[in-house]
Amino acid sequence: MLDPDVADVGSFIGATGLTSSQNQGRLFVSLKPAGERKSNSREVIARLRPEFAKIAGLSVFMQPSQDLRNGGRTSKAQYQFTLSDASIEELEEWRGKIIEKLKQLPQLADVTSDKERGGLRASVVIDRNAASRMNVQIASIDAALNSAFGQRQDTIIFTQRNQYRVIFETPISRQRDIRDLAGLYVSSTNGAQVPLTALAKIERGYMPLVVNHQGVLPAITISYNLAPGATLDGATKAIEATIEEMNLPGGLHTAFVGDAADFRKVAAGMATLILAALLAVYIILGILYESLIHPITIISTLPSAGLGALLSLEAFGAEFTVIAFIGILLLIGIVKKNGIMLVDFALQAEREEGLTVHDAALAAARERFRPILMTTLAAIFGAIPLAFATGIGAELRRPLGITIIGGLLLSQILTLYTTPVIYLLMSKLQRKHKLKLTPRIQ
């Protein structure tokens, strides 16, 4: 509460739907409204992280609350990476090695896992030679342990109205310490009672509190946050390169899950989606103008818009998010109307007024300058509230406005110069193609 941007704090401890074991808890930090604080959530986390690190015996991992989470998992950090293997021993061996490597990456922060070895274990190691000398069978030792700690049903007492199951077990007061095993006796084949400590030795150890699974295999989830200034794409590539350098055994499988896996899926489909949009635009314009050449002239206006969107994101320090990608898709529909207005006017001037290609292109640039400018300004003014939005959720909407404004500004500057030039080149190419196809009469 000493942080100037923190409004309230709440917490709970113990195993719930959000935590898997008793030695964990959840801490919820509520920030002041955006207009009343000077830092965003990531900056507050970066400021609180070294303060929590000073608390001995407590590990704190923080992540900002997300408006949208596709495939998100409950973990100690925002992004997840899983290791799965049929061998728990091999899984545990490589878990520490991989975590140590990932902690050295400058793109990552708060690297941890859901593997916890805080559970106490007592292993009963039977001395088979001693058991044989004392005529004690291994099954008898197993039955004695099961009866003492497994709550074995011994019999059922039937009455006139009810049935009562008799459960045989050691008193609770004798189950709390490993030394209580010294009071356990085992029956031999000749009826003698032999102390368990005379037949076996008790070894202390540790075991996982929880064993999670990915599909049918035991799995460990490594969770991590992004370091200040790092991007999810850069962190993903750094993890892939690190894992590839480690030469993992064939039985150990790795995979991104949660938000990281969803990001990889979306990133892989972005190029395909843009190509599909361009192909759809090309087919529609080809049918409209009955030409294979002039749709290319119209589509040539789009690269400048994409470049302007990326430059504007870089200038404002905004990340290329899914929302920014949606803005680029919107630009495909908005910017191509500049080319349509120029090409449509030039073709009409050639066919109806008999102008040359050069004069038609020049006339189109002059006559269509005003409507192109008006429609572009209307779209820019409509995107300004998005680009400079404030309040809750503004970070989600701001990249959309930035991409639209940047793409429209650069395309507006370049379209009136580049589109007429490309129109002239395409018309010249079309005339040459027609001359080659025209048969000569001798």
Q: What is the DSSP string of 131-174?
A: HHHTT--HHHHHHHHHHHHS-EEEEEEE-SS-EEEEEE---GGG
- Residues 53 and 138 grouped into a single domain: no
Q: Judge whether 411 lies within some domain.
A: yes
What's the per-residue H, E or C state across 255-293? Answer: EEEHHHHHHHHHHHHHHHHHHHHHHHHHHHHHHHHCCCC
Q: Judge whether 137 lies within some domain.
A: yes
| Confidence (pTM) | 0.63
CA distances from 299 to 110, 269, 293 (A): 45, 21, 10
Tens of pLDDT along the chain (442 residues)? 578 888 888 877 766 655 556 677 788 888 888 777 887 777 888 888 888 888 887 888 887 776 666 655 567 788 888 888 888 888 888 888 898 899 899 988 888 887 766 677 788 888 888 888 888 888 888 888 887 877 777 788 998 888 998 887 777 777 777 777 878 888 888 888 888 888 888 888 777 767 777 778 888 888 888 888 788 888 888 999 999 888 888 888 888 887 777 777 777 778 888 888 888 888 988 888 777 888 888 888 888 888 889 899 888 888 788 888 888 888 888 888 888 888 888 888 888 888 888 888 888 888 888 888 898 889 899 889 888 877 767 777 888 899 999 999 988 888 878 888 888 888 887 777 665 555 554 4
Of 150, 175, 195, which residue sits at a domain end?
195
- Residues 296 and 430 grouped into a single domain: yes
Q: Give the pLDDT of residue 16.
A: 62
Strand 163-168 to 193-195 pairing: unpaired
Q: Give the pLDDT of residue 403.
A: 92
Short-list 245, 246, 243, CA closest to 254: 243
- Residues 428 and 303 grouped into a single domain: yes
- Residues 432 and 295 grouped into a single domain: yes
- Residues 179 and 299 grouped into a single domain: no
Q: Which CATH number covers residue 300?
A: 1.20.1640.10
Q: Judge whether 132 lies within some domain.
A: yes
Question: By residue range, what is the domain housing residue 12?
Answer: 1-60
- Residues 184 and 307 grouped into a single domain: no
- Residues 37 and 133 grouped into a single domain: no
Q: How many domains does the chain divide into?
A: 3
Q: Judge whether 201 lies within some domain.
A: no
Q: Judge whether 72 lies within some domain.
A: no
- Residues 309 and 432 grouped into a single domain: yes
Q: Give the pLDDT of residue 299.
A: 86
Q: Judge whether 335 lies within some domain.
A: yes
* Strands (DSSP E) found in 63-151: 79-84, 108-113, 119-126
Residue 139 burial by CB count (10 A; 0-12/13-18/19+): exposed, middle or buried?
exposed
- Residues 132 and 52 grouped into a single domain: no
Of 135, 165, 195, which residue sits at a domain end?
195
Q: Judge whether 26 lies within some domain.
A: yes
- Residues 321 and 399 grouped into a single domain: yes
Of 162, 195, 228, which residue sits at a domain end?
195
- Residues 38 and 129 grouped into a single domain: no
Q: Judge whether 210 lies within some domain.
A: no
Q: Give the pLDDT of residue 72.
A: 54
Q: Give the pLDDT of residue 184.
A: 83
- Residues 187 and 309 grouped into a single domain: no
